[in-house]
Every structure is written in structure tokens, then in C-alpha cells.
Structure 1
Amino acid sequence: MSYETDDLPGTWYYLRDQERGRMLESELAHECGSNQHPMVGQRVEAVACCGTCDDVLFKLLDRQSWAIVHLTWRRETNPSWPSCDVMENWSEVIEEMADRGH
């Protein structure tokens, strides 16, 4: 199943603007101030955003998996922030998006 052609649930939408995607990727790197955060050092691609909150779907390029990250828009030192949920396949991504009720 190709994720690029699937409809996303709720207020989620695909990022079509590459510049905005790069900005979100940079913001993620900035926010992960703790070396213990699971996203530190990950090569990512911003794929989709939630239209009602600061959740962003990133494709983890080296692991061939996905992460939904709640950006905080500030540098964090607690490894729990920004919060993230990692999923191994696309059906888990769609389920997580729908469960968040956005």
C-alpha cells in the first residue's frame, strides 16, 4: 500500500511544501536537546501534519518506520519531550492518527 495515495483520517494532511517539511525536520532536531531522546540522530522526512495540534508524522529513513511527534517549539532537555510514538508499518500509522481523534 502506498502511503502517498491514502486518505488521512481527521484533520491530518500531507505536506506538499518541501520548504515547510525541511523546517519541521530542523525543528525536530532543535527540540531534541537530550542525547537520550529516541529521535536524536535519526534521519527523517516530514510527511504529514495534524491541522489542529502540533503533531507531525515523520518517516524514519534508516529504520523504514514512522514516528508521530508532538513538537513543543522550544529546546527540550527532558528525553520525554518532544513526545513521540514510533510505528513499524503504515496501517499502525493510520490507526494511531485515528485514535488521536484529531
Structure 2
Amino acid sequence: MKKQSTDLLELPAGWLSPSPESARQFEQELQRELCPQHVLYNVPAQAVGRKDRRDDFLFKIPDNCFAQVHLTWRQETDPFWPATDLFSSFEAWKTSLDDEDFD
């Protein structure tokens, strides 16, 4: 099966595409932080975006779904951390941003 490219994702203003090296670091950090009860534990996740100057990241997960995760930069024992919102598609994620408060 051919791996689907994420290069075609048009991130909204305020979101940046990570370099391949940074993406690997963010993916490793995500796995380091997760406890076994977390919804993303053992789920393959590909870093595809980071909110500019924030610890919020967008990961592509199986079935063309997406997870927005607020990394904490520490190993967690609470399954609610790192805070994670799941989305059924890239468009669903982008639509959810319209509901956020402006910084």
C-alpha cells in the first residue's frame, strides 16, 4: 500500500509544517509522554503541523484521521495528558479551529 503524502495539507494561518527531523522528534516525544491508558497509546502518529510558538501539534493517525495534541514535555501517568482532540478528517480539524478563541 502506498503511503499517503501529507505534503498536500494546507495548514491554516498560525500553523507550520515541521521539517522531517522535527517531525520525528515530535513523534518520539508524543510516544514518550503517553501512558498505556491514553487514547493514542501504541497508535502510529505522523507529525504534520505545529501551532506557531505553541506546544500544540497536529498528528495524522490511521484511517486518515487526525489528532491535535498539547505536548507537555514530560512523561505522563494521567490518561488525559497530553490533552488530545481527535478528528475524523483534516477538514473536520480545520473546521474546529473556527470555534477557537482568538489569541
Range into which the TM-score falls when normalised by the shorter chain: 0.7 to 0.9
Task: Give the structure 1 partner of residue 67 of structure 2.
Answer: 67
Q: Deviations over 1:55-91 (max 9, x none)?
A: 000000x332000000000000000000000100121
Paired residues in the alignment total: 98
2:12 is aligned with 1:13: no
Letter paired with 1:21: A
**Cα distance in 1 between the residues matched to 2:30 and 2:6:** 22
Identity, % of aligned pairs? 34
Per the TM alignment, residue 38 of structure 1 is displaced from its structure 2 partner at its CA by: 0.3
Task: Give the structure 2 partner of residue 89 of structure 1.
Answer: 89
Instruction: Mark the CA change 1:59 to 1:52 in structure 2 (over 3 Å): closer, same or farther.
Output: same
Structure with higher RCO (Cα < 8 A, 6+ apart): 1
| Superposed counterparts of 1:3-82, under 5 Å | 4-5=7-8, 7-15=10-18, 17-32=19-34, 34-60=35-61, 62-82=62-82
**Structure 1: segments with no counterpart, 5+ residues:** none
TM-score where L is the length of structure 1: 0.84
Per the TM alignment, residue 53 of structure 1 is displaced from its structure 2 partner at its CA by: 1.4
Per the TM alignment, residue 5 of structure 1 is displaced from its structure 2 partner at its CA by: 4.1
TM-score where L is the length of structure 2: 0.84
Letter paired with 2:42: G
CA RMSD of aligned residues (A): 1.9
**Cα distance in 2 between the residues matched to 1:59 and 1:3:** 8
Say if 1:9 and 1:98, in contact at 8 Å, map to a contact too: no
Say if 1:37 and 1:79, in contact at 8 Å, map to a contact too: yes
Say if 1:3 and 1:90, in contact at 8 Å, map to a contact too: no
